[in-house]
Every structure is written in C-alpha cells, then in structure tokens.
C-alpha cells in the first residue's frame, strides 16, 4: 500500500474512533502511533517520538495557555461577569431587545478577560438569562443570545484557541491576538443589530423593560467595568507598547485579575483553589491533545498526504476562496462532533502545506479559522455552548428550544464570516498599524 493511501486510511480510522466516542487525544495518539509503526517500523517510531513528544510541549509560548486560563478564572471570581452585564444593561436596557443586546455586550466584555467560550456561556448565562426571563423575553432569544455571544470569547483576546493556532502554524501570538479585536467587535455589533431589528419587527420577543436610567446612572455604571478595562489595558497595552511579549502579557493579566479578586473581597481558599484546579485540569487536557496531535502530525508527514493534497490543489488551480469554502464545510461538519482545539489539531497539520502553497496570510486565515470554530460551537447536534446554556437553565427550558433559538444568531455568524473573508483588512489592520506589517 502506498504511503498516502495509508494516510487516508488513518483518517478514516480516526473518524471512526471519534464516532464511537474514544477521547480525541487518545484517538490522535493511537492512529499516529499505529501509522508511524506501519510506515517506518518500531525502532524508528520510538526514536522520533523520543524527541518530538518533548519538543511539542516544551515550548515557552505555551505557558500563555495556563496563564490566560488563570486570568479568566480569577476574573470570574472577581465578579467581572456580573459587572460586564450590569454596565451593558444600564446602557442598553432602553433599546428594543436591550437585555439581549446587553447579554451580547457583556459576553464580549467578559471575553476580553477569559479565553473560553464555555466559561463565558456558563458565567454569563447564570446572570443574564434569569434577568431576561423575568422581564418576559422569549426564551429562545434569551438562550440563543447567550449561546452565540459566548463564542465571542474565542475570538476576542485573550483566546486559548488563538494561542494554540499560532503555535501550530508558527505565527506571532501577539499579532494574532491583536488581529482578533476588530472582528470580535464587528461580530458583537452584528449580533446586537440583528436583535434590535427582530424586536422592532416583533416586539413580543422582548417586552419593554420598565427601567429608565439617567445619563448620570450610565456614567456611574462605567465604574463597575473598570476592572475589565484594566485587564484589557494590561494585555493589549502591554503587547502594543512592546513592553512585554504575549506570554508576559498573559502573566500580567493573571496577576491583574488576582489583584482585582482581592480588591473585590472575593479571595478565599475556596476560590483560589478552584481557580488553580480548573486551570490545571484544562491545561492538562490541552497538553494531552497537543501530544496526541504531535504523533498524528508525524504520521501525516511520513505518509506524504498533506503534500499530496497541496499538489492536487495546485494542479486543479483552485482559488484561495475555493479552498476556504472547502475548509469551511469541513469545519462545520467537524464542529458537530469536536471541540474547537481538537478541530484545529486535526486539520491544521494537513492544511498548512496547502496554505503555504497558496501564500495565504496565516494571521488572516487564523481569524477565519477561529470564526469557523465559533460557528462549530453552536452548530447542532454538538454545539458545546448550547449544551452549557442548557445546563444553566436546567429543566425550565427544553434543549430543542435552546437549539431553535440559535438559528438567527448562526445566520449572523455566517454573514460575519463572509465579511471577514471578503475584507481581510478587518483582521490585519490593527496588527499592521500597531506592530508593523509582518
């Protein structure tokens, strides 16, 4: 059997193991190990893995992953979730669908403190959904606004997904993080605009809230969000000024969130231990995935399949947009079954030769991939943030209604994705201005 056919067989076995719910990290490792053994034998496989597995995780920039996670958990315990929603609520409550719009804005603000869409969905859902239901909001809109907006935490820095992508393609983490701000803001504005138009056309979706804050109340409310501004300043300002690297900015953000937790009077042994344990669990999961992906990548490289695909695309004379369309379909399919990091670890090693062959800007493509990951997080039947929201609301709202509430938001996410593909400068403008053209 030719090596590339063995690579294809490996992919088929990989998908089968995923389908029968073998954990993705072990699936990648088993297929990678079996494939390498079939191609080069046991001795050569052991010799390669003895160096590759260590080098996969012994990367200084990977320390940004636990630091950004720790920053998010400290920020949650410091009460920044409630502060983000409270501030947005006061500013937006008077508008049609104002509480749902405030949920989107709150998720965007909290996303600037936490790099996980799952964390944002759980934290913001507990605060915002009961508030919307209390005022008679349509339950589908209430759940949909949180499930969709929570994925903004994947796009708005700090983002764990962005850090992993940057390491996989050997791109600048700082440049990629900077590239996420404008697309994240655009995504939030489009979701809020859709809510405004829908409620204007059908006011029954979101009854008017009997809450009319004065301009003074709005200005005073900004004081609740000062902690979020501080964290954004530490991360964004640190990278922009060149004073710190992206990894050091993550450390500054974690330290800032810890100080905010102390200032809010929320530091206790329970909250501190919970933050450390959750960070350790998530980091261990990510590193295990990276180890499995390294073994699978080694197998793919030996099989020659990525190079064969790159050559086939060159021979077929496919345009960049055709390739992105194929990648989009692939990610929507994988998003039905896999989490965001697993999707990237499975596909990027195969796609990278193709991207280089077409001379695609890896920073811009990274934003497109992260947006596709966002869409995957709300795509049935997996839709991880949808299930998190369902967990928050319990038996009060059926899972079917939560999924039905997502469709308008999913359409807006696809519309935003198209804008990001057609106008790459939305993603590249900020890093080019602040860090110079790469």
pLDDT of residue 438: 57
Q: In the predicted model, is pLDDT for residue 436 greater than 70?
A: no
All residues at 6 or more sequence positions from 324 whose CB lies less than 8 Å from its CB, including other chains: 365, 368, 421
User: What pLDDT does residue 272 have?
Assistant: 92
297 and 309, same structural domain?
no
Range of 39-48, 219-228, 262-271 with top mean pLDDT: 262-271
Q: Do 164 and 21 share a structural domain?
A: no
* pLDDT (tens digit per residue) in 283-341: 888 888 888 888 888 888 888 877 777 777 777 777 788 888 888 888 877 776 677 77
Q: Does any domain span residue 321?
A: yes
Both 103 and 145 in one domain: the answer is yes
Same domain? For 310 and 353 the reply is yes
Does residue 152 form part of some domain?
yes
Residues 309, 295 within the same domain: no
* Residue that is written with structure tokens 């194929």 in the block: 326
- Give domain status of residue 411, yes or no: yes
Domain contains 277:
no
pLDDT of the residue at 336: 67
Asked if residue 212 is part of any domain, the answer here is yes
In a domain, 249, yes or no: yes
Average pLDDT over residues 86-99: 86
Same domain, 253 and 388: yes
Our count of domains for the chain comes to: 2
Same domain, 296 and 333: no
d(CA 435, CA 360): 19
Residues 153 and 222 in one domain: yes
Task: Please say whether the beta carbons of 382 and 338 come within 8 A.
Answer: yes
Helix, strand, or coil (residue 398): coil
Q: Cα–Cα distance between 196 and 42 in angstroms, integer? A: 61
Q: How many CA atoms lie within 13 A of 403 on its CB side?
A: 11
Domain that holds residue 17: 1-58+287-302
Neighbours of 212 (CB within 10 A): 8
* pLDDT tens-digit readout, 140-172: 999 999 988 888 888 888 788 888 888 888 888
Task: Tell me if 275 is assigned to some domain.
Answer: no
Looking at the domain assignment, is residue 276 inside a domain?
A: no
Could you tell me if 195 and 330 lie in one domain? yes
User: Does 309 share its domain with 348?
Assistant: yes
Instruction: Please state, in angstroms and as integers, the Cα–Cα distance from residue 182 to each residue in 135, 161, 329, following that order.
Output: 32, 17, 24
113 shares a domain with 4? no
- Mean pLDDT, residues 181-188: 92
Measured distance CA(90)–CA(82) in Å, rounded: 12
**pTM of structure:** 0.85
209 and 122 in a single domain? The answer is yes
Least confident of 15-24, 181-190, 375-384: 375-384
């Amino acid at each position: 059997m030719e090596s590339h056919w063995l690579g294809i067989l490996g992919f088929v076995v990989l998908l089968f193991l995923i389908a029968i719910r073998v954990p993705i990290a072990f699936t990648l490792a088993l297929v990678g190990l079996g494939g390498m053994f079939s191609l080069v034998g046991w001795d050569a496989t052991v010799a390669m893995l003895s160096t590759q597995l260590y080098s996969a995780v012994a990367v200084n920039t990977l320390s940004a992953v636990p630091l950004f996670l720790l920053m998010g958990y400290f920020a949650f315990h410091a009460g920044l979730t409630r502060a983000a929603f409270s501030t947005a609520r006061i500013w937006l409550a008077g508008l049609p669908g104002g509480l749902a719009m405030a949920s989107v804005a709150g998720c965007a603000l909290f996303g600037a403190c936490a790099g996980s869409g799952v964390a944002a969905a759980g934290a913001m859902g507990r605060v915002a959904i009961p508030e919307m239901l209390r005022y008679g909001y349509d339950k589908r809109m209430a759940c949909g606004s949180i499930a969709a907006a929570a994925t903004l935490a994947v796009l708005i820095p700090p983002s764990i997904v962005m850090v992993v992508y940057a390491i996989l393609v050997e791109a600048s983490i700082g440049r990629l993080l900077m590239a996420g701000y404008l697309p994240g803001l655009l995504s939030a504005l489009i979701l809020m605009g859709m809510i405004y138009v829908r409620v204007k056309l059908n006011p029954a979706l979101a009854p008017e809230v009997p809450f009319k804050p004065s301009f003074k109340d709005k200005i005073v409310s900004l004081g609740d969000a000062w902690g979020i501004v501080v964290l954004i300043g530490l991360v964004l300002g640190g990278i922009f000024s060149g004073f710190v690297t992206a990894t050091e900015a993550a450390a500054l953000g974690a330290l800032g969130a810890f100080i905010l937790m102390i200032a809010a009077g929320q530091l206790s042994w329970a909250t501190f231990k919970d933050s450390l344990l959750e960070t350790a669990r998530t980091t261990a999961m990510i590193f295990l995935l990276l180890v499995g992906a390294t073994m699978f990548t080694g197998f793919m490289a030996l099989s020659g399949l990525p190079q064969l695909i790159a050559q086939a695309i060159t021979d077929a004379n496919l345009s960049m947009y055709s390739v992105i369309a194929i990648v989009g379909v692939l990610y929507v399919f994988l998003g039905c079954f896999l989490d965001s990091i697993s999707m990237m670890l499975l596909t990027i090693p195969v796609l990278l030769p193709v991207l280089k062959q077409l001379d695609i800007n890896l920073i811009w493509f990274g934003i497109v991939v992260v947006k596709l990951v966002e869409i995957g997080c709300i795509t049935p039947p997996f839709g991880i943030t949808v299930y998190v929201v369902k967990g928050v609301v319990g038996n009060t709202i059926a899972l079917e209604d939560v999924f039905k509430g997502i469709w308008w938001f999913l359409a807006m996410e696809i519309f935003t994705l198209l804008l990001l593909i057609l106008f790459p400068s939305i993603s590249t403008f900020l890093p080019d201005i602040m860090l110079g053209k790469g």
